[in-house]
Each structure stands twice: as structure tokens, then as C-alpha cells.
Amino acid sequence: MRTYWWKILAVLFVTYGIIGGFLMPAPDNIGILGKTIRNLNFHVPMWFTMIILLFVSVIYSLMYLSSGDLKKDNMSSSMVKVAMLFGLMGLATGSFWARFTWGTWWIEDAKLNGAAIAMLIYTAYYILRNSIEDEIKRAKFSSVYNLFAFPIYIVLIIVYPRMAETSLHPASGDTVGFSTLDLDNNLRKVFYLSGLGWILMGVWLSTLKYRLTELKRKNEEI
Amino acid sequence: MRKYSILLLALSLSAVAQSPVDEVMYSSGKIYVVVAVLVIIFTLLAAYLVRLDKKITALEKKNEA
């Protein structure tokens, strides 16, 4: 608990997101969405958190490759693993949301398929990591893999869905994002802080995973 | 029978809906109950994370010594 103020902020922001997400005024009358517009405060932050964690993990991969310090590699992989958890939560909540708005759990859509393939890329990262016994070799292989995985990930979940001709998902293909629907700025009042809160939660979880793995590593050395 | 059930419902409502907290919880289609449930879940989850964090800190200190 060296510096813990941001952990308090994480809890406060997410709590605010839960309360505000339900009770604050929101555009509740946009077509098939109805009140599910409020899912914006919970589904989208999952992906924000995943993207931020993966981005920071790339920085740690670079730091490992330039320094050879295994701690950096540990932090990088901890972040990827927690990011995967958030990605799974994003896929699950999105699928559930789709069932009661589009009427189906899954549909062939650039955004959905892109996100699914992106998850597979990081599943491969996980398998690659676990298949190498030697600590240093494992760190080098997975760091380099991580550097290549991230740009492909961004293309798959953001660029490719935007380039698609049609899509059901907001802000991809021919659809608009929620920012254009949020005329009174009511969503933003909750969404930004909620998103920041979830990102901080993700960072917190990653640091816990990192510290646990670090302890394990030290104990194995002795 | 129906008469009785309505009477019972009225009785039970008047029996529980007394404090200001109850007033809030019973308003707006009881949505506040859902909000409270989620807040409870998240608070406990966060408290567990804090405990985990402290335990790991303790282990780290022990390892350094």
C-alpha cells in the first residue's frame, strides 16, 4: 500500500458509476435501446480498460527488451492477463446487450468478429507464454509477440469495424457513436468518471497479479 | 379471498414502509433496491481487494526481511 489514493478513487468512481448509471437522467428513448443505453457506463469501460492495460503492457514489454529486467516482463504479462479478463467481460456484456436490443446473442458484424479475433490473438499470447519453460526465453518471446499483437488488436477492434460498410454496433461502419446521441451531455456526466474508475480498477488488479507473481518468482529462486 | 389479500398487502406495506429509508426504497418502482444491491456487491468486492492488497504487502515485507 505504498501509494493508495488512486485505489480509493477507483472504488469511488466505479460506485458513482453504478449509482449514477441507474439514477441519473439519460436519453432513455432512443429506438430499440430503451433504458439499456445505461449499459454504456458498464460495457464500454470494459474495453477502455482492456485497451489501456494492453497499451501499458506494450510499454513494459519495450522496457523489458531494452533492460532485460524480468520484473518488467512480469508487469507486462500481468497486465495482458487482467486485460483478457476485461475483454471477456466486454464480450459477455456486449453479447447479452445485443440479445435484448438486436434480438440475437451474436451476429456476423465487423465489430463483434473483430473483437472475437482480437481475443484469440491474446489467447495465443497466453499459450505461447505457458509453453516456454525457460524464464528468459519466455520473457523475450512473449515481449516481442506482444509488440506485434497490439497494433493488430487495435486494427481489429477499432479500425476494421470503422471501415466496414455496415454495422449494428455504434461507432462502426455506418453507425454513429453515443456522443452524437448524448445531446444533453447527461451520459457524459457519469460515463467519463465511471470509465476512469474501471481503468484504475484494472490497473489495481494488474499490480496485485504482478506482486503475487513476483513473490512466487522470488520464492522459487531460494 | 381477494379482499383479504389486498388487506394483507396494505397491512404489510404499512408495517414496513415507515422509515425514510423505506420511503426511498419503495419509490420509483423500487429501482433503488437494485442500486443498493449492486453497491453492496461492489463494496464487498473492493473490501476484499483491499484485504488481498494488504496480505500481499505483508508477504512482501516478510520476504524482504
Which of B27, B56, B62, B64 best probes binding to A when mutated, by most A CB atoms within 10 angstroms?
Answer: B56
| CA distance linking residue A151 with residue A11, whole number of Å | 31
pLDDT of residue A67: 95
Q: Does position B63 have pLDDT exceeding 70, yes or no?
A: yes
Residue type, A108: E
B34 and A211 within 8 Å at the Cβ level: the answer is no
* Residue B16 confidence class, pLDDT cut points 50, 70, 90: low
Q: What is the pLDDT of residue B30?
A: 81
Mean pLDDT of B6-26: 68
Look at residue B12 in the predicted model and tell me its pLDDT. Answer: 60
Closest CA to A90 of A190, A165, A169, A207: A169
- Cβ pair A19:B31 closer than 8 A: no
- How far apart (Å, rounded) are the C-alpha atoms in residues A88 and A81? 11
| Set of cell numbers at residue B23 | 420511503
Q: Tell me if chain A has a CB within 8 Å of the CB of B21.
A: no
pLDDT at A120: 95
**Res. A75: pLDDT tops 90:** yes
Check if the beta carbon of residue A115 is closer than 8 Å to that of residue A90: yes
Average pLDDT, stretch A88-105? Answer: 90
Q: What is the mean pLDDT of residues A55-67?
A: 97
Residues sharing a CB contact under 8 Å with residue B24, sequence separation 6 or more, in sequence order:
B32
Say if the Cβ atoms of B34 and A19 lie within 8 Å: no
User: Cell 473483437 belongs to which residue?
Assistant: A115
User: What are the residues whose beta carbons fall under 8 Å from the beta carbon of A5, sequence distance 6 or more?
Assistant: none
Q: Alpha-carbon distance A201 to A74, whole Å? A: 19
What ipTM, to 2 d.p.? 0.72
Q: Is B63–A215 a contact, with Cβ atoms under 8 angstroms apart?
A: yes
